[in-house]
Chain A
Amino acid sequence: MAEVVLLDFWGSPFGMRARIALAEKGVKYEYKEEHLLTGKKTPLLLETNPVHKKIPVLIHNGKPISESLVIVQYIEDAWSDTAPLLPADPYGRSQARFWADFVDKKIYDQGKKIWANKAGEVQEAGKKELMESLKLLEGELGEKPFFGGETIGYVDVALVPFYTWFYSFETIGNFSIEAECPKLIEWVKRCLERESVSKSLVDPEKVYVDLILVLKKMYGYE
């Protein structure tokens, strides 16, 4: 097995976080695709993440780490001599952790209310909640080029992968995220100028056609 292996799924925003962090640190790794849409989980996944049985899993010298933000913090700790994702001061670190945790608590579930439902109450609630969350994040970004300041940091890594799902939310929910959060979309574009991000994120239209629509069919969310 290679020294660093990432067990991942192409369309997962959580997996993209790990990809960006590894790229930022210049770490060479073996990417192993877990074909989630087949409904089958590989022995490697079940062995390396027996508790949650989910991707991403980072395997470093045979030792597995699960949970995307735990993985990103591990990458930060293990390759600490380059491209720091967290500021040096404890207060700055606590704020970065807070906002990454906020992204974790809100964005996926609120987005799911939109894509996994027909037009109606639940979908509308999802749209309202998602826009509230994104506006709060936009406020937190303020005038800084990135959440991390002059360069991308922990919160940027935690949030930017969800951009790949925005097109799906907007198409299914019939609304525009850019209209209400233009500064956030400008921030996304700045992030995409970095190779670590542009190489880690997938095409939003591919997410819509090959993932979201497929999931809707698979689970009967139509």
Chain B
Amino acid sequence: MASNNGDVKLIGAWASPYVMRPRIALNVKSVEYEFLQEQFGSKSELLLKSNPVHKKIPVLLHNGKPICESSIIVEYIDEVWSSGPSILPSDPYDRAVARFWAAYLDEKWFPNVRGAAAASSEEAKNAAVDQLKEGMALLEGAYVEISKGKDFFGGEKIGFIDIAFGSMLAWLRALQVMLGGVKLLDEEKTPGLCKWAAKFSADPAVKDVLPETEKIIEFAKLLVAKIKAAAASS
């Protein structure tokens, strides 16, 4: 296919929320790319060569040059394909707010998702869930403030925070099921986010990227087993 987008490849895996971020971003920009999926449990030569420092997915390869770290990749996509719909806001303060929440999700919130899923004790699980619920309350507040009555954090269309947070929705929904119906998206406590989640999931740039909850639940079982085995042997 002729393209003046150059050669665009993404190394990743269907289940990874971090990988979903650049996939959604590329869709927002209508950029076609080759999706090179890693096999679960092993790392390809190409991945190790393209991301020697962290050896992790996602890696975007644009004309052979690698870009690593999901949020950094999304900013790159936004800057290269600048004629498409913009992902980051243009105002410096709004950009700082967007970057702040993406960092919060990565450093504070998502580790608790993994913690709750892989918890070995009831206590550890409950602690992680409590942290997640606190986080959801913060994110609900952020959503109300930042969306200013529109559908998305990004306003009329999805933006940087929507992509950073929305990429985690499949895992969030899976976790709710796996924890026996714990409500993280709660119609009473996080009504804004409930509406947002439905709209985000239905967005054309998103709907083929977010996996079904059942598929994530199946995959989570494999992953949790792997994490527990690694913990047991260390």
Cβ contacts under 8 Å, B68 to chain A: 98
Give 1 or 0 for each of A81-116: 1 = CB within 8 Å of chain B CB.
000000000110111011001100000000000000
Chain B, interface residues (CB within 8 Å), range:
20 to 34
Query: Pick the contact of A74 from B80, B96, B103 — CB < 8 Å?
Result: B96
Cβ contacts under 8 Å, A101 to chain B: 69, 72
**Are A70 and B72 in contact, CB atoms less than 8 angstroms apart?**
no
Query: Pick the contact of A70 from B53, B62, B96 — CB < 8 Å?
Result: B96
Cβ of A93 to closest chain B Cβ, rounded Å? 7
Cβ of B140 to closest chain A Cβ, rounded Å? 13
Cβ contacts under 8 Å, B72 to chain A: 94, 97-98, 101
Cβ of B6 to closest chain A Cβ, rounded Å? 11
Give 1 or 0 for each of A169-186: 1 = CB within 8 Å of chain B CB.
000000000000000000
Report the Cα distance A101→B96, complex, angstroms: 16
Cβ of B139 to closest chain A Cβ, rounded Å? 10
Question: Is A1 on the interface with B (CB-CB < 8 A)?
Answer: no
Cβ of B104 to closest chain A Cβ, rounded Å? 6
Cβ of A43 to closest chain B Cβ, rounded Å? 19
Closest to A77 in B: B92
**Are B96 and A65 in contact, CB atoms less than 8 angstroms apart?**
yes
Question: Is A60 on the interface with B (CB-CB < 8 A)?
Answer: yes
**Are B67 and A70 in contact, CB atoms less than 8 angstroms apart?**
no
Closest to A96 in B: B72
Cβ of A209 to closest chain B Cβ, rounded Å? 31
Report the Cα distance A31→B225, complex, angstroms: 50
Report the Cα distance A136→B53, complex, angstroms: 9
Cβ contacts under 8 Å, B67 to chain A: 91, 94-95, 98
Cβ contacts under 8 Å, A66 to chain B: 100
**Are A65 and B93 in contact, CB atoms less than 8 angstroms apart?**
yes
Question: Is B148 on the interface with A (CB-CB < 8 A)?
Answer: no
Question: Is A196 on the interface with B (CB-CB < 8 A)?
Answer: no
Give residues 32-74 of A contacting B (CB, 8 Å): 51, 60, 63, 65-67, 70-71, 73-74
Cβ contacts under 8 Å, B138 to chain A: 51
**Are B92 and A74 in contact, CB atoms less than 8 angstroms apart?**
yes
Residue from B72, B93, B96, B138 whose CB has the most chain A CB atoms within 10 Å: B96
**Are B93 and A60 in contact, CB atoms less than 8 angstroms apart?**
yes
**Are B76 and A70 in contact, CB atoms less than 8 angstroms apart?**
no
Report the Cα distance A67→B96, complex, angstroms: 9
Question: Is B43 on the interface with A (CB-CB < 8 A)?
Answer: no
Cβ of B84 to closest chain A Cβ, rounded Å? 13
Question: Is B150 on the interface with A (CB-CB < 8 A)?
Answer: no
**Are B53 and A90 in contact, CB atoms less than 8 angstroms apart?**
no
**Are B92 and A78 in contact, CB atoms less than 8 angstroms apart?**
yes
Cβ contacts under 8 Å, B75 to chain A: 93-94, 97
A-B contact pairs, 30 of them (CB 8 A): A51-B138, A63-B93, A65-B93, A65-B96, A66-B100, A67-B99, A67-B100, A70-B99, A70-B103, A71-B96, A73-B96, A73-B99, A74-B92, A74-B93, A74-B96, A77-B92, A77-B96, A78-B92, A78-B93, A90-B76, A90-B80, A91-B67, A91-B76, A93-B79, A94-B67, A94-B73, A95-B67, A98-B68, A98-B69, A136-B53
Residues of B within 8 A of A (CB): 53, 62, 65, 67-69, 72-73, 75-76, 79-80, 92-93, 95-96, 99-100, 103-104, 138
Residues of A within 8 A of B (CB): 51, 60, 63, 65-67, 70-71, 73-74, 77-78, 90-91, 93-95, 97-98, 101-102, 136
